[in-house]
Amino acid sequence: MTKVTLTVNGKTVSKSVEGRTLLSSLLREDLNLTGTHIGCDTSQCGACVVHVNGEAVKSCTMFAAEADGAEVKTIEGMANADGSLSVIQAAFQEHHGLQCGFCTPGMVMSAAALLKDNPKPSEVEIRAYLEGNLCRCTGYHNIVKAIMAASGQDVPAVAAE
Amino acid sequence: MYDFEIQKPGSIADAVSAMSGDDAQALGGGQTLIPTLKQRLASPSTLVSLAGLSEMVGICKDDAGRLCIGGATTHAAVAADGSYAGLSGLASHIGDPAVRNRGTIGGSLANNDPSACYPAAALGSGATIVTNAREIAADDYFLGMFETALNEGEIITEVKFPIPEKSNYQKFVQPASRFALVGVFVAKYADGVRVAVTGASESGVHRWTAAEEALNANFSADAIAGLDAPSGDGMINDLHGSGDYRAHLVKVMTGRAVAAAS
């Protein structure tokens, strides 16, 4: 077992982990932050995306031991300080960017990472950035729309064709 | 996953020493190795994490004008660099953004997946693979599917790329995995053109010398259009495409790479 100390959503935590413990397991099972979802466990689906030192990573494809000393942000850390939804989260709600909601934590974390580097992405750029985030319900249209809206760009009021 | 110990050395020397243990394996970004461990296709007793070795992270130019990329540098960093357009373009289409934030050039070249992108760039650029022990020319480095000239315990610390006059990488993605069904890297140097093909051959990344000769005489897509496609014998033949189909794609993607080279 290895002791790791990291900052998760602004709080410092220390845990003992096995070598094989994944960051996603540490978050979900040791820290009870179950908003980070494990969809495929094969690095494909992106439901487990979190930010490590400000960058989007698939937490099912990183060992907890390697997050020692890192700053990690999960979907639980995305809301505003007063508990209200962040701009991106509110846009997903407003534009119905989800159906079953399973992929949504990863979508929101990827969207936040995209907008940090590219504050006004085009639709093409959004779709390209979401290559590693799979949604099996929505067909992506409303997710893309929500991210466009969250970036302050006009989106059509009607549902996507 | 079977359990193992993770060691996090603070220097290349410590990493080399940790790699000398029984069943020790280097861990780069883990974007291939971790899924492999999950499937129990590998069972190292120790993983030696290279991610924290700051002396192996970063991009600079040497006195010869070569782009020198630390072995633990991520695909995202290479994509953002831009001083070698063809290489940054290639790096910007590996996997997806989250994968590019973890995966490293050294990890990709050490693994030498027959469908990986970076081997095409290294071979197509005539790059030099620098390890803790020696320098290896790309032409001598890639020995076949998942096989390289690396010795047991040897670590890629840096990769040096001569920067060409023109370059481009074209990838025909396998629709499910997004790996290269066929990828072709073309680089035009003052002393000749190099064409490297990934994804296609059962013997891994390789050069298409007939195309290189044609492009040396006339660097244009027309020069490729006038060539016969390479033979489908020895090309990968699977449910995603026959050997002949891949051979055809090699010609098509080479033509596109030449047309797009800048």
Domain A2-77: CATH class, spelled out: alpha beta
Tell if the CB–CB gap between B3 and A20 is shorter than 8 Å.
yes
Are B96 and B70 a contacting pair, CB within 8 Å?
Answer: no
Domain ranges of chain A: 2-77, 87-150
Number of domains in chain B: 2
What is each CA distance from B64 to A123, B131, B135, B160, B162, in whole angstroms?
A: 41, 19, 15, 10, 8
Return the higher-pLDDT residue of A156 and B12.
B12
Tell if the CB–CB gap between B1 and A49 is shorter than 8 Å.
no
Q: How far away is chain A from the Cα of B153, in angstroms, using its nearest Cα? A: 20
CA dihedral defined by A143, A147, A150, A151, rounded to 10 degrees? -160
The answer to the question of residue B112 being in a domain is no
CA nearest B39 in A: which residue? A42
Residue A11 pairs in a beta bridge with: A8
Question: What local confidence, expressed as pLDDT, does residue B52 receive?
Answer: 87
Question: What local confidence, expressed as pLDDT, does residue A83 receive?
Answer: 94
Question: What local confidence, expressed as pLDDT, does residue A60 receive?
Answer: 98
CA nearest A43 in B: which residue? B35
The answer to the question of residue B131 being in a domain is no
Out of B5, B35, B51, name the one closest to residue A43 (CB).
B35
Question: What local confidence, expressed as pLDDT, does residue B155 receive?
Answer: 98
Question: Which chain A positions have a beta carbon within 8 Å of B47's beta carbon?
Answer: 19, 63
> Is residue A161 scored above 60 in pLDDT?
no
Test mutation, B27, B34, B46, B173, chain A, max A CBs within 10 A? B34
> Is residue A158 scored above 70 in pLDDT?
no
Backbone phi and psi for residue B33, each to the nearest 5 degrees, phi listed first: -65, -40
> Is residue A63 scored above 60 in pLDDT?
yes
The answer to the question of residue B127 being in a domain is no
Q: How far away is chain A from the Cα of B190, in angstroms, using its nearest Cα? A: 35
Q: How, if at all, do strands B192-198 and B135-137 pair?
A: unpaired
Fold classified for A87-150: DNA polymerase; domain 1 (1.10.150)
Q: Positive or negative, the Cα torsion across B132, B138, B140, B144?
A: positive
Domain residues for the domain of B35 are 1-49
Tell if the CB–CB gap between A20 and B1 is shorter than 8 Å.
yes
Q: How far away is chain B from the Cα of A19, in angstroms, using its nearest Cα? A: 5
The answer to the question of residue B31 being in a domain is yes
Are B168 and B155 a contacting pair, CB within 8 Å?
Answer: no
How far apart, in Å, do the first and last CA atoms of chain B sit?
Answer: 45
Which segments of chain B have a pLDDT < 70? Answer: none
Tell if the CB–CB gap between B6 and A42 is shorter than 8 Å.
no
Q: How far away is chain A from the Cα of B114, in angstroms, using its nearest Cα? A: 19
What is each CA distance from B209 to B29, B206, B222, in whole angstroms?
A: 33, 9, 16
Cα angle at A116 between B178 and A143, to 5 degrees? 55
Are B25 and B44 a contacting pair, CB within 8 Å?
Answer: yes
Backbone phi and psi for residue A72, each to the nearest 5 degrees, phi listed first: -115, 135
Average pLDDT, chain A: 95
The answer to the question of residue B151 being in a domain is no
| Residue showing tokens 């883990």 | B30
Tell if the CB–CB gap between B98 and A129 is shorter than 8 Å.
no
> Is residue A116 scored above 70 in pLDDT?
yes
Across the beta sheet with B135-137, what order do the strands follow?
Answer: B59-61, B67-70, B156-161, B128-131, B135-137
Q: In this predicted model, what pLDDT tens digit does every residue of B102-126 receive, in sequence order?
A: 999 999 999 999 999 999 999 999 9
Question: What local confidence, expressed as pLDDT, does residue A157 receive?
Answer: 67
The answer to the question of residue B204 being in a domain is yes
Q: What is the mean pLDDT of residues A102-113?
A: 98
What is each CA distance from B180 to A123, B103, B198, B253, in whole angstroms?
A: 25, 16, 7, 11
Tell if the CB–CB gap between A43 and B31 is shorter than 8 Å.
yes
> Is residue A64 scored above 90 in pLDDT?
yes
Contact residues, chain B to chain A, C-beta under 8 Å: 1-6, 8, 27, 30-31, 34-35, 37-38, 47, 49, 51-52, 76, 95-99, 101-102, 178
Question: Which chain A positions have a beta carbon within 8 Å of B76's beta carbon?
Answer: 55
Q: How far away is chain A from the Cα of B243, in angstroms, using its nearest Cα? A: 27
Q: How far away is chain A from the Cα of B189, in angstroms, using its nearest Cα? A: 31
The answer to the question of residue B96 being in a domain is no
User: Which CATH number characterizes residue B16's domain?
Assistant: 3.30.43.10
Q: How far apart are CA B100 and CA B92, in angstroms?
A: 8
* Domain closes at, from B49, B64, B82: B49
Q: What is the mean pLDDT of residues A79-101?
A: 96
Q: In this predicted model, what pLDDT tens digit does every residue of B201-215 receive, in sequence order?
A: 999 999 999 999 999
Test mutation, A1, A16, A26, A43, chain B, max B CBs within 10 A? A43
Tell if the CB–CB gap between A61 and B76 is shorter than 8 Å.
no
The answer to the question of residue B230 being in a domain is yes
Are B111 and B126 a contacting pair, CB within 8 Å?
Answer: no
Question: What local confidence, expressed as pLDDT, does residue B175 receive?
Answer: 87
Tell if the CB–CB gap between A43 and B34 is shorter than 8 Å.
yes
CA nearest B4 in A: which residue? A19
Question: Half-sphere exposure of residue B130, counting CA atoms within 13 Å on the CB side?
Answer: 14
User: Which CATH number characterizes residue B187's domain?
Assistant: 3.30.390.50
Domain A87-150 in the same topology as domain A2-77: no
Q: How, if at all, do strands B128-131 and B156-161 pair?
A: antiparallel
